[in-house]
Amino acid sequence: MEVKIGVQHAPREIVLESGQSAEDVERAVAEALSGKAQLLSLTDEKGRKVLIPADRLAYVEIGEPAVRRVGFGTL
Protein backbone atom coordinates (compact mmCIF):
# COMPACT_ATOMS: atom_id res chain seq x y z
CA MET A 1 0.00 0.00 0.00
CA GLU A 2 1.21 3.51 -0.75
CA VAL A 3 1.93 5.83 2.18
CA LYS A 4 2.64 9.55 1.67
CA ILE A 5 4.17 11.50 4.54
CA GLY A 6 4.44 15.27 4.68
CA VAL A 7 7.29 16.63 6.78
CA GLN A 8 7.35 20.20 8.11
CA HIS A 9 10.00 22.43 6.52
CA ALA A 10 10.69 19.88 3.77
CA PRO A 11 9.85 20.74 0.15
CA ARG A 12 8.89 17.19 -0.86
CA GLU A 13 6.78 14.48 0.68
CA ILE A 14 8.06 10.99 1.48
CA VAL A 15 6.35 8.27 -0.57
CA LEU A 16 6.84 4.59 0.17
CA GLU A 17 5.22 1.28 -0.65
CA SER A 18 4.61 -0.52 2.62
CA GLY A 19 3.75 -4.14 3.23
CA GLN A 20 2.12 -3.15 6.53
CA SER A 21 -1.64 -3.03 6.80
CA ALA A 22 -3.52 0.27 6.95
CA GLU A 23 -4.35 -0.42 10.60
CA ASP A 24 -0.67 -0.94 11.48
CA VAL A 25 0.34 2.31 9.78
CA GLU A 26 -2.49 4.21 11.45
CA ARG A 27 -1.54 2.76 14.85
CA ALA A 28 2.12 3.80 14.39
CA VAL A 29 1.08 7.34 13.40
CA ALA A 30 -1.30 7.62 16.36
CA GLU A 31 1.42 6.49 18.79
CA ALA A 32 3.87 9.02 17.36
CA LEU A 33 1.37 11.89 17.54
CA SER A 34 0.20 11.01 21.06
CA GLY A 35 3.76 11.15 22.39
CA LYS A 36 4.15 7.42 23.08
CA ALA A 37 6.92 7.27 20.47
CA GLN A 38 9.29 10.06 19.46
CA LEU A 39 9.75 8.63 15.95
CA LEU A 40 7.32 7.39 13.34
CA SER A 41 8.87 4.14 12.11
CA LEU A 42 7.58 2.44 8.96
CA THR A 43 9.06 -0.38 6.87
CA ASP A 44 8.78 -0.45 3.08
CA GLU A 45 8.33 -3.53 0.87
CA LYS A 46 12.10 -3.97 0.46
CA GLY A 47 12.65 -4.08 4.22
CA ARG A 48 14.08 -0.57 4.58
CA LYS A 49 13.03 1.45 7.64
CA VAL A 50 11.90 5.04 7.38
CA LEU A 51 12.14 7.08 10.59
CA ILE A 52 10.53 10.52 10.92
CA PRO A 53 10.58 12.67 14.07
CA ALA A 54 7.01 12.79 15.39
CA ASP A 55 7.15 16.53 16.04
CA ARG A 56 7.90 17.18 12.34
CA LEU A 57 4.90 15.30 10.87
CA ALA A 58 2.63 17.49 8.77
CA TYR A 59 0.30 14.80 7.37
CA VAL A 60 0.13 11.09 6.54
CA GLU A 61 -1.91 9.80 3.61
CA ILE A 62 -2.63 6.07 3.60
CA GLY A 63 -3.62 4.64 0.22
CA GLU A 64 -5.59 1.51 -0.49
CA PRO A 65 -3.81 -1.74 -1.25
CA ALA A 66 -3.00 -1.94 -4.96
CA VAL A 67 -4.05 -5.03 -6.86
CA ARG A 68 -1.39 -5.92 -9.39
CA ARG A 69 -2.82 -6.99 -12.72
CA VAL A 70 -1.05 -9.15 -15.22
CA GLY A 71 -1.90 -9.52 -18.89
CA PHE A 72 -3.43 -7.49 -21.66
CA GLY A 73 -7.07 -7.57 -20.62
CA THR A 74 -9.35 -4.57 -20.83
CA LEU A 75 -9.49 -2.20 -17.92
pLDDT in the model for residue 40: 94
- Among 22, 4, 29, smallest CA distance to 14 is for 4
Indicate whether 53 pLDDT > 70.
yes
Residue 1: pLDDT band with limits 50, 70, 90: confident
Backbone angles phi, psi at 17, to 5 degrees: -95, 115
Residue 72: pLDDT band with limits 50, 70, 90: confident
pLDDT mean over 20-46: 92
Domains of the chain: 2-62 (2.30.30)
